[in-house]
Amino acid sequence: MSVSEFDLIRDFFVRATGARADVLLGIGDDCALLRAPPGLALAVSVDTLVAGRHFLVDADPLDLGHKALAVNLSDLAAMGAQPAWATLALTLPQVDKNWLRAFVDGFAALAVIHDVQLVGGDTTRGPLSITIQVHGFVDPLLALRRSGARAGDRLLVSGTVGDAGLALQLMQQQLRGGSVDGRLSRRLDRPTPRVALGRLLVGQASAAIDVSDGLIADLGHLCAASGVGARVELARLPLSPAFREHCPPRQWRPALAGGDDYELLFSLAADRIEALRDRCRGAGESVQEIGRLVDVPGITLIYPDGRESTEIPDGFDHFRG
Amino acid sequence: MSVSEFDLIRDFFVRATGARADVLLGIGDDCALLRAPPGLALAVSVDTLVAGRHFLVDADPLDLGHKALAVNLSDLAAMGAQPAWATLALTLPQVDKNWLRAFVDGFAALAVIHDVQLVGGDTTRGPLSITIQVHGFVDPLLALRRSGARAGDRLLVSGTVGDAGLALQLMQQQLRGGSVDGRLSRRLDRPTPRVALGRLLVGQASAAIDVSDGLIADLGHLCAASGVGARVELARLPLSPAFREHCPPRQWRPALAGGDDYELLFSLAADRIEALRDRCRGAGESVQEIGRLVDVPGITLIYPDGRESTEIPDGFDHFRG
């Protein structure tokens, strides 16, 4: 096949997403030229998904295109930033037009929802891997950092946790031919970045992080950055009906350390919680209080029977045995 | 080994480069927060280097760190942009602290020269691959695009061409144990991004591109974007002493299609050429006129014996044959 790199990029990516007025020059030159809005900070994040590590080699390319962008938009959501631009570095073992078309469709469908324009890319031959960088805008004084939480703040999380982690665990236990409840696998394959909720938390939350490594691992990052500890009431964890149906009793690991939730975990001064609940209800965003932050370092889990423990299941860690 | 992803990023990358005043929040949160200067456009480019494709698996990590950043800075140079920030997505088969330290050293040494701060990254386990995105600033009305060249403009190139391509060709022909002239291999392993020259060309050059795929392939891109053709006088190509010493007579391919030069190829109105030569001389930048742009589409090579030909050696193309 003699499709050139340049034809490939042009055909599949140039018209993949809409045209924003702040993109002065898009794909096709040595650089894109972009106009950042005055007064706002540019929020930037980059994430790589590697075949065999973050997804199966034969994963549906439509899902992959969605997920690769979603995990990056989730980082913007966690800062309270409004998404704007993305670049895509795609490494492919060969040119497969059907695969590429589906990948771009999955990417573009999510990009359009969030008014994100693809402004640059690089396509190379090699083991399948996807690196996306996203850019968004946020008031630098109000951006949601990990470091602003204070003892006494309430701890909240959006949506439900554990669905993706449970889906992965069930897939790994599954015999060939078995299938996992689609309500769970969809949460693993097509996560929803909580962009609107992130915007709503700007000026409200004292700290925020997105849950990618697992609820407790990411709570650990927030606590470390803020210099606080946390008490988490397991009975208050928001668990989906599908999760309750399929998770073995007393198995907390998928909900606490499964990862891939892409929910927002955030802290809030106690006197702001009612107003926030109202705003979330009005905006159709689901949030749940799951505990509070304390002076004492470390994370304490409070089990439904009242037992307390500081033993935490490990989060996802790329380089840990 | 149980070095975690987070320790790894923190240890090697956080202090890799200097601290810029326009970086409000660097590595360590969900996003970096950056302040773009008002009135200027943000120039953005991303490039991936894949082991076995763009470099040998056992390549010197010090060179790799340099080259991965250099090829990206070269894209900023080709727009006339002032470099500012970079992100690094690094996929590694295993954690090798010595390798990482050398890679970061190579990256950082070049970053410091150009006042570039590393503001974000992602480290994952997988086949060795490096994706860097760079960000710079340029006046949007004066940025060097590929599309501004006009018939009658002179065609110029910086530095010398063909050294890297010849080094690669000689390495491939080499028997085990043989070595390639260091003056050539250094140009392949540690290219010099022509950032200062790019800045000097802002408001002067009518079009510019960096030579990464080969002189003729990249000239083709410039001509296509500008809607012009070109006549190139081979006798005027700037060739290094080492190139003349090692290149077989009448072998034009390494100079025309070798790639990896990372020189700037640009066009200039004829009446600006003397002033530009003076400015370049003053700034210690070497540029050479090699031909001119014409109305007729296509590229014509004029050989030293006066023969003309439109047959062009193929440029480097990731997905061709």
pTM of the model: 0.93
Question: B66: Cβ–Cβ under 8 A, 6 or more apart, which residues?
Answer: B106, B107, B109, B110, B189, B190
Task: Please report whether residue A148 resides in a domain.
Answer: no
Structural domain total, chain B? 2
Q: Which of B103, B138, B173 is the last residue of a domain?
A: B138
Distance from CA of B252 to the nearest CA of A (A): 23
Nearest-CA neighbor of A161 among A31, A80, A264, A276? Answer: A264
Same domain? B68 vs B177: no
pLDDT of residue A83: 98
What is the full per-residue pLDDT of chain B (321 aa) written as tens digits?
Answer: 234 555 666 677 777 788 999 999 999 899 999 999 999 999 999 999 999 888 888 899 999 999 999 999 999 999 999 999 999 999 999 888 899 999 999 999 999 999 999 999 888 889 999 999 999 999 999 999 999 999 999 999 999 999 999 999 898 887 555 689 999 999 999 999 999 999 999 999 999 999 999 999 999 999 999 999 999 999 999 999 999 999 987 788 899 998 899 999 999 999 999 999 999 999 999 999 999 999 999 999 999 999 999 887 554 444 433
Test mutation, A2, A29, A142, chain B, max B CBs within 10 A: A29
Residue percentage of chain A with pLDDT more than 70: 93
Distance CA B200, CA A187 (A): 51
Establish if A33 belongs to a structural domain: yes
- Tell me, yes or no, whether B290 lies in a domain: yes
Instruction: Give the pLDDT confidence score for residue B179 in this predicted structure.
Output: 83
pLDDT at A4: 60
Say if CB A130 and CB A86 are below 8 A apart. Answer: no
The whole-chain average pLDDT of chain B stands at 91
CATH of the domain at A301: 3.90.650.10
Closest CA to B10 of A105, A221, A240, A259: A221
Q: Does B319 reside within a domain?
A: no
Closest partner residue to A210 (CB to CB) among B30, B145, B317 is B30
Same domain, A163 and A248: yes
Q: Which domain holds residue B191?
A: 154-309
Looking at the structure, tell me whether residues B132 and B177 fall in a common domain: no
The confidence score (pLDDT) of residue B76 equals 98
| A68 C-beta neighbours (distance < 10 Å), count | 25
Give A-chain residues touching B119 at CB under 8 angstroms: 44
Alpha carbon separation from A296 to A91, A211, A221, A312 (Å, rounded): 46, 22, 15, 16
Q: Cβ contacts (< 8 Å) between A31 and chain B: which residues?
A: 43-45, 75-76, 78-79, 81, 136, 143
DSSP B54: T
Task: Provide the phi-psi class of B227: left if phi over 0, else alpha when psi is between -120 and 50, else beta.
Answer: left
Q: What are A110-137's pLDDT values in tens digits?
A: 999 999 999 998 888 899 999 999 999 9
CATH of the domain at B82: 3.30.1330.10
Within a domain: B114: yes
Same domain, A43 and A126: yes
- Regarding whether A259 and A200 lie in a shared domain, the answer is yes
Instruction: Check residue B313 and give its pLDDT.
Output: 59
ipTM of the complex: 0.93
Q: Which of B113, B138, B163 is the last residue of a domain?
A: B138
H helix or E strand, kind and range, residue A43: strand A41-50
pLDDT given at position B222: 97
Which chain A residues have a beta carbon less than 8 Å from that of B220? Answer: none
Structure tokens at B319: 């997905």
Rounded to whole angstroms, the Cα distance separating B108 from B9 reads 14
What's the burial of A225, exposed, middle or buried (CB within 10 Å: 0-12/13-18/19+)? middle
Query: Which residues from chain B sit within 8 angstroms of residue A2, using beta carbons?
Result: 319-321
- The answer to the question of residue B316 being in a domain is no
Please give, rounded to a whole number of angstroms, the shortest distance from the CA of A89 to a CA of chain B: 7
Kindly state whether residues A36 and A114 are assigned to the same domain. yes
**Domain membership flag for residue B256:** yes
Examine the fold and report which residue of A95, A114, A138 is the final residue of a domain before the chain moves on.
A138
DSSP notation for A58-126: T--HHHHHHHHHHHHHHHHHHHTPEEEEEEEEEEESS--HHHHHHHHHHHHHHHHHTT-EEEEEEEEES
CA-based radius of gyration for chain A: 20
Q: Of the candidates B227, B265, B226, which has an alpha carbon nearest to the alpha carbon of residue B147?
A: B226
A42/B35 touch (CB, cutoff 8 Å), yes or no: yes
* Chain B partners within 8 Å of A36 (Cβ): 36, 42
Q: What is the pLDDT of residue A1?
A: 29
**Separation CA A264–CA A285 (nearest Å):** 11
Check: CB of residue B272 under 8 Å from CB of residue B148: no
- Judgement on whether residues A78 and A124 belong to the same structural domain of the protein: yes
Selection from B142, B154, B157 nearest residue B269 by Cα: B154
Same domain, B61 and B183: no
Q: What is the pLDDT of residue B13?
A: 78
Residues A184-213: tens digit of each pLDDT: 999 999 999 999 999 999 999 999 999 999
B128, B158: one domain: no
Rg (CA), chain B: 20
Q: Is residue B54 part of a domain?
A: yes
Asked if residue B291 and residue B183 are part of one domain, the reply reads yes
User: Chain B closest CA to A249's CA: distance in Å?
Assistant: 31
pLDDT of residue A17: 81
Chain A residue nearest residue B9, CA to CA: A319
Q: What phi and psi, each to the nearest 5 degrees, are found at residue A273? A: -70, -35
Are A293 and A159 in a shared domain?
yes
Task: State the pLDDT confidence band at A94, using cuts at 50, 70 and 90.
Answer: confident
| A116 and A259 inside one domain | no
